[in-house]
Amino acid sequence: MTKSNTLIEKMNKHSAHNYKPLPIVLEKGEGVWVWDVDGKKYMDMLSAYSALNHGHRHPKIVDRAKKQLDKIALCSRAFHAEKLAQFCERITNLTKYDMVLPMNSGAEAVETALKLIRKWAYVVKKIPKYEAEIIVCSNNFHGRTVTIVSFSSDADYRDSFGPFTPGFKIIPYGDIEALKKAITPKTAAFLVEPIQGEAGILMPAKGYLEAAQKICKENNVLTAFDEIQTGLGRTGKLFCHMWENVRPDILIVGKALGGGIMPISAVLADEPILGLFTPGEHGSTFGGNPLACECALAAMDVLEDEHLIQRSQEMGEYLMGKLRDLNSPYVKEIRGKGLLVGIELKKEAGGARKFCEALMARGLLCKETHEHVIRLAPPLVITKEEIDWAVQHVKDVLK
C-alpha cells in the first residue's frame, strides 16, 4: 500500500464526494512542478483552475506573505488596515476603475456583483421593486451558491438544489441576436464570461463583447464580465476582454488575484455604481484581510515585474502551434488564448478523462473539462523547454 493509497482511502471515507479527483495525493509544489506523497514529480497543467498563474509558491509572493504574517493577518472590516488601503489603490490603478470591493471566493464576488446590479436597477434605473432581470449565458460557470446555480444550465450543478432564485434569463452564449431579443425595460445587466472556461474553453466570435456592450449601452443595461478564470494574464492580456475594445461596467476577479497563496476576489466598478453600497448592506469577515491583500499586492507586482502577461501570450502561441502540429487523429480542434488552451477531442476518442489519466501516469497533470476537452492551463511562469516536455507527452498519448 503506497502512502497515496492510504490517504485516498481516508478521503473516500471522510470527505464529502463532491469532487472526482485524479488518484494522486500532492505534498509539495514549486513553480510548474508538484510532488506527491510518494515522491513522484508531475507538471501542473491545471494551475488550480488558473488560481496559480504565478506558479506554486512564487518566492517573491511567499516572502511578502511571511513578512505580513509577522505583522498582522486579520482584523475584519471593523477597522481600517494599511494593506487594504494599499490594495484598493493598487488594483484600481491597475484596472482603471474608481472603486473595489474585496471578497474571498469567486462565487462571493459574483454574488456581490449580483447584489450591486440589483441595487443599481432599483435606485438608478428605477426598475420596479423586485422585478429586475439579469441576463446570463447557457453553459455559464459563475460559482456554486444557490443563487448562482439558479441560473446554471448544467443539470449537475443545479438539479437537486431548488427552489431557485428568480430574476435570471438564460440566452445562448455568443448570440448577439438572442441578447437583443432578451432585453426588456426590466433588464438590469448582462453577466458573461469572455471565454467560458468550465464549459470547455468556449470562445465567442471576435467582436461579440463589443457588440454586446453596444446593445447594453443603448438600453441602459450594465455589462458585468466574470474574469475570475480569464483575468490577470491568463489569456495573454491583463483581462481577456482587452482583446476587444470594451470596458465592462462591472469587472469580477478572483482566483489568481491571491498569487496562488490566499483566496481573495474582488468586484470593480466606477463610483456611480460601486458607490451605491452603504454601510451594512454587504460585507465579509475575511474579505480584504491584510494577509490576502499583501499576497494580491505581491501578485500584481510579480505580474508586471516578470512580464507574465506577455509571456502568457508568447508561450500560449508557442504551445498551440506545437499542439496543432501534432495532427492527432483524435483531435477535433485546438483553441484558446494565451495559456488557456483546450484540446477538443472527437467523440470517437471516447472522452478526455482516459487521456488525462494516461498523461498523469507520465507525470503531466491536467483535467478534462466536460467530456471531450482537455484543458491545458499551466502557470504563466512555464518555460519553452517545459512546454516542449509537456507536448512530447501529449503527442505520445494522442497518437
- Catalog residues that contact ligand PLP under the rule CB under 6 A: 49, 105-107, 110, 141-143, 193, 197-198, 226, 228-229, 254-255
Q: Do 322 and 316 contact (CB within 8 A), yes or no?
A: no
For residue 68, the SS3 value is helix
CB of 5 to ligand PLP, least distance (A): 28
Q: How many CB atoms lie within 10 A of CB 390?
A: 24
Could you say which of 83, 255, 322, 337 is catalytic? 255
Distance CA 250, CA 129 (A): 22
Distance CA 54, CA 256 (A): 8
Task: Show the cell assigned to 216.
Answer: 447594453
CB of 259 to ligand PLP, least distance (A): 14
φ/ψ of residue 75, rounded to 5: -145, -5
Task: Show the cell assigned to 145.
Answer: 451558491
CB of 159 to ligand PLP, least distance (A): 19
Residue 19 vs 79, nearer CB to ligand PLP: 19
Residue 144 vs 169, nearer CB to ligand PLP: 144
Residue 105 vs 235, nearer CB to ligand PLP: 105
Distance CA 377, CA 49 (A): 8
Distances (CA, A) of 372 to 44, 146, 197, 225, 352: 20, 27, 13, 26, 5
Helix axes of 308-325 and 290-305: crossing angle, nearest 10 degrees: 70
Distance CA 390, CA 158 (A): 35
Distance CA 354, CA 346 (A): 13
Residue 97 vs 157, nearer CB to ligand PLP: 157
Residue 112 vs 328, nearer CB to ligand PLP: 112
Q: Do 334 and 355 contact (CB within 8 A), yes or no?
A: no
For residue 220, the SS3 value is coil
CB of 123 to ligand PLP, least distance (A): 26
Give the pairing of strands 331-337 and 340-345.
antiparallel
Active site residue 226: yes
Distance CA 238, CA 231 (A): 6
Torsion-angle region of 167 (φ positive above 0: left; ψ -120 to 50: alpha; else: beta)? left
CB of 104 to ligand PLP, least distance (A): 8
Could you say which of 226, 237, 249, 367 is catalytic? 226
Q: Which residue is nearest to ligand PLP (CB)?
A: 106
Residue 226 vs 368, nearer CB to ligand PLP: 226
- Tell me the HSE value of 268 on the side-chain side, using a 13 A CA sphere: 26
Active site residue 141: yes
CB of 95 to ligand PLP, least distance (A): 17
Residue 228 vs 296, nearer CB to ligand PLP: 228
For residue 337, which amino acid is it? K
Could you say which of 36, 83, 87, 141 is catalytic? 141
CB of 101 to ligand PLP, least distance (A): 15
Tell me 380's DSSP state.
Answer: T
Residue among 369, 378, 377, 365 nearest 25 (CA): 365
Provide the annotated active-site residues.
141, 226, 255
